Amino acid sequence: MIEHKNILEDDFGRNHTYLRISLTEKCNLRCTYCMPINGVPLTPKSNLMTSTEVFEIAKIFADSGVNKIRLTGGEPLLRKDFPEIVKHLSKLNVKIALTSNAVLIDRYIDDLKQYGINDINISLDTLATDKFLHIAKRDQFKKVYDNLILLVKEGFKVKVNVVLIKGFNENEIVDFIKLTKDLPISIRFIEFMPFDGNKWEKDKMISYQEVMEFVEQGFDKNVIERIEDAKNDTAKNYQIKGYQGSFGVISSVTNPFCDSCNRIRLTADGKLKNCLFSSTETDLLTQFREGKSITPIIQKVIRQKHKMRGGMDSLEKLENPDLHQQNRSMITIGG
């Protein structure tokens, strides 16, 4: 029998202190790697967590040891009650962070400041207007870019997520890094990951190793510095000497960070997933609504966590489309 030191510890000694909560399955963009081409059937509103339920369930996690909550989606800022949600959550003794496509973020600057949300990840896969329209299916490049600059000006700690897709944006790796010369942001190149409906193929992926080859073509070897990664950081981080910002690579496919994973995910309809790649999920919301104690359920789900990528512990398994179809599409998980 394995002895667990913490409520949220799994059988491999990983303590899950970081909860990602998806607030909605809806989005105002249609990124092809995230949203299936025909969209997703939306869950009826009555089956989604209300702002009070988000708070009460989050509180149970916080009482069990979670110390960081990231709000994500879909696009979390599409929730009209977003200010109310963060107001409630700010009462918990946890750090709150946000992942957003930034289209609407200028409207929420005051709320973010008031409720202490300083750590913001935004998604931007290209620096070209026409390519943005191609990948996100909405003409919002200028808005997103202007909002990125606004966030920096307003003093937020900004990370920019760039999903790399072969033939689409690998030729912009160096341009993205050049942004960090004058902007104190962190660019994170993400390996394209397989989810239901996103037409993933191994050949469309730009691996960590390939990213570094592009970096070495664009910059002198002696100015590329490996910098220290924060604890539980999913990226391997670098900086160009003298630049204000940094960049990193999140290599979930070729070099996963499962050994140090401290994340669990709650979907907008209140299902708990112990891994991004897991094909199983547990309905916390229904049991919460029935008045059951959900702490033992949470504990059980965490103890069932696989050692690696929801059980897809080899590239062969990851390449098997049948296994992705058992999982949700990314838009309904909350990355």
User: Which residues would be at the binding site for ligand SAM (CB under 6 A)?
Assistant: 27, 33-34, 72-73, 75, 99-101, 123, 161, 163, 190, 192-193, 195, 198, 330-331, 334-335
Residue among 79 and 306 whose Cβ is closer to ligand SF4: 79
Please identify which residue in 75, 172, 210, 281 interacts with ligand SF4, judged by CB under 6 A: 75
Using CB under 6 A as the criterion, what x/- string covers residues 275-294 for binding ligand SF4?
--------------------
Of 176, 189, 165, which Cα lies nearest the Cα of 32? 165
Length of the chain equals 335
Closest approach of ligand SF4 to the CB of residue 29, in Å: 4
Please identify which residue in 62, 206, 331, 333 interacts with ligand SF4, judged by CB under 6 A: 331
Torsion of CA 221, 225, 229, 235, to 10 degrees: -30
Using CB under 6 A as the criterion, what x/- string covers residues 93-132 for binding ligand SF4?
--------x---------------------x---------
Per-residue burial over 111-133, b if 16 or more Cβ lie within 10 Å, else e, is bbeebebebbbbbbbbbeeeebe
Residue among 34 and 48 whose Cβ is closer to ligand SF4: 34
Tokens of residue 334, six digits: 């909350």
Backbone angles phi, psi at 205, to 5 degrees: -90, 140
Residue 216 is inside which H or E element, if any?
helix 208-218
Task: Report the alpha-carbon distance of residue 69 to residue 141 in Å, rounded.
Answer: 28
Q: Does 74 bind ligand SF4 (CB under 6 A)?
A: yes
Which residues make up the interface to ligand SF4 (CB under 6 A)?
A: 27, 29-31, 34-35, 73-75, 101, 123, 331
